[in-house]
């Protein structure tokens, strides 16, 4: 039985169709790969895998890509801080621990890693001692969110108002009632102070972290200005003023000076 061959033109069409199909499949494969790379879940898993394999630079790149895509979470910033810390970048480690803590102030792992990293900063300080008052308030207020302190302060204020109204209506002047009123007033003032500190320290203030090692802090915004002292990577500051390429940085011990703004990164 003779089998006739297909016409030549039909063979060319078949080959062209095969090539086109291969190209379409290749483009689909590339497109799927690109989508996977831009999927935050995939990137997060990839970053965790790289971190577990001690490939910290690759993990940092994966985590930062998620942030570039507009996603953030306390877990993301925490893991990014860990990757920076393991890679030896103390400034960016503390920066991301602080970002994680701001999103979830109740996470003990974040708080512990932040405290651990800050311990390395204190070893690098030269002539710069942290303000114990700020450290105390930060230690007390830092364990809860601003909303928590605001609601707690509002609740105590409501209790105080009710107690004062009760005293006015009943005209009672017992020692127990007076002592209770004084105690509630003291608690209210303390809570209001903590709430104000929390707001000013974490939200109202333009906070930043020194991300470059051993940066000069000068007395004026100029590259040839006199160096007041040098600041280690990881120190936390409040930006008070800007002038050209410089910012006036207020440190925790209330000392301030001008530093190049590219040596800092804002929270």
The pair of structure tokens assigned to 200 is: 């000013």
Q: Could you tell me if 255 and 193 lie in one domain?
A: no
Angstrom distance (rounded) from CA 30 to CA 77: 29
Q: Could you tell me if 198 and 219 lie in one domain?
A: no
Tell me whether residue 146 is exposed, middle or buried, using C-beta atoms within 10 angstroms of its C-beta: 0 to 12, 13 to 18, 19 or more. Answer: middle
Query: Taking a C-beta distance cutoff of 8 angstroms, is the pair 202, 146 a contact?
Result: yes
Query: Taking a C-beta distance cutoff of 8 angstroms, is the pair 141, 193 a contact?
Result: no
Instruction: Give, for all 267 residues of the chain, the pLDDT tens digit.
Output: 333 333 333 344 444 443 444 344 344 434 433 444 578 999 999 999 999 999 999 999 999 999 999 999 999 999 999 999 999 999 999 999 999 998 898 899 999 999 999 988 865 555 555 556 666 776 676 667 777 888 889 999 999 899 888 888 888 778 888 888 889 999 999 888 888 877 776 666 789 999 999 899 999 999 999 999 899 999 999 999 999 999 999 987 778 899 999 999 998
Query: Taking a C-beta distance cutoff of 8 angstroms, is the pair 70, 89 a contact?
Result: no
- Provide the residue range defining the domain that includes 219: 207-266
Backbone angles phi, psi at 215, to 5 degrees: -90, 145
Asked whether residue 88 is assigned to any structural domain, the reply reads yes
Query: What tens digit of pLDDT does each residue of 119-160 get?
Result: 888 655 555 555 566 667 766 766 677 778 888 899 999 998
Please enumerate in sequence order all residues whose Cβ is within 8 A of that of 123, keeping only pairs 6 or more positions apart, or say none.
none
Q: Could you tell me if 196 and 162 lie in one domain?
A: yes
Domain of residue 58, CATH code: 1.25.40.10
CA dihedral 164, 166, 168, 174 (to 10 degrees): -90
Q: Could you tell me if 259 and 240 lie in one domain?
A: yes
Query: What tens digit of pLDDT does each residue of 8-25 get?
Result: 333 444 444 434 443 443
Q: Could you tell me if 211 and 197 lie in one domain?
A: no
pLDDT of residue 46: 95
Query: Which residue, of 68, 89, 124, is where some domain finishes?
Result: 124
Angstrom distance (rounded) from CA 229 to CA 216: 6
Q: Structurally, how many domains does the chain consist of?
A: 3
Instruction: Give the residue among 212, 214, 208, 211 at the shortest CA–CA distance from 249.
Output: 208
Angstrom distance (rounded) from CA 82 to CA 195: 29
Query: Taking a C-beta distance cutoff of 8 angstroms, is the pair 242, 262 a contact?
Result: no
Q: Could you tell me if 173 and 218 lie in one domain?
A: no
- For the question of whether the overall pTM of this predicted structure is more than 0.85, the answer is no
Angstrom distance (rounded) from CA 70 to CA 184: 44
Asked whether residue 239 is assigned to any structural domain, the reply reads yes
Asked whether residue 26 is assigned to any structural domain, the reply reads no
The pair of structure tokens assigned to 97 is: 């621990």
Q: Could you tell me if 120 and 51 lie in one domain?
A: yes
Query: Which residue, of 124, 157, 173, is where some domain finishes?
Result: 124
Instruction: Give the residue among 155, 128, 137 at the shortest CA–CA distance from 214.
Output: 128
Query: Taking a C-beta distance cutoff of 8 angstroms, is the pair 205, 180 a contact?
Result: no
Q: Could you tell me if 48 and 120 lie in one domain?
A: yes
């Amino acid at each position: 039985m003779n089998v006739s061959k297909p016409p030549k033109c039909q063979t060319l069409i078949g080959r062209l169709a095969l090539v086109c199909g291969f190209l379409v499949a290749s483009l689909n494969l590339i497109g799927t790969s690109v989508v996977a790379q831009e999927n935050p879940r995939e990137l997060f898993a990839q970053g965790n895998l790289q971190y577990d394999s001690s490939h910290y630079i690759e993990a940092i790149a994966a985590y930062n890509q998620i942030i570039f895509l507009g996603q953030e979470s306390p877990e993301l910033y925490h893991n990014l801080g860990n990757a920076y810390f393991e890679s030896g970048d103390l400034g960016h480690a503390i920066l991301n621990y602080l970002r994680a803590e701001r999103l979830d102030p109740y996470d003990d792992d974040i708080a512990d890693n932040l405290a651990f990293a800050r311990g390395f900063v204190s070893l690098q300080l030269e002539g710069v001692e942290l303000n114990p008052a700020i450290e105390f308030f930060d230690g007390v207020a830092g364990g809860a969110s601003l909303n928590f302190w605001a609601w707690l302060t509002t609740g105590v204020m409501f209790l105080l108002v009710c107690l004062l109204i009760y005293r006015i209506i009943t005209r009672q002047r017992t020692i127990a009632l007076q002592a209770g009123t004084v105690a509630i007033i003291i608690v209210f003032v303390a809570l209001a102070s903590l709430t104000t500190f929390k707001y000013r320290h974490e939200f109202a203030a333009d906070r930043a972290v020194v991300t470059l090692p051993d940066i000069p802090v000068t007395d004026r915004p100029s590259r040839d200005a006199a160096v007041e002292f040098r600041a280690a990577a990881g120190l936390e500051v409040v930006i008070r003023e800007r002038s050209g390429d410089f910012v006036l940085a207020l440190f925790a011990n209330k000392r301030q000076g001008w530093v190049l703004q590219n040596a800092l990164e804002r929270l």
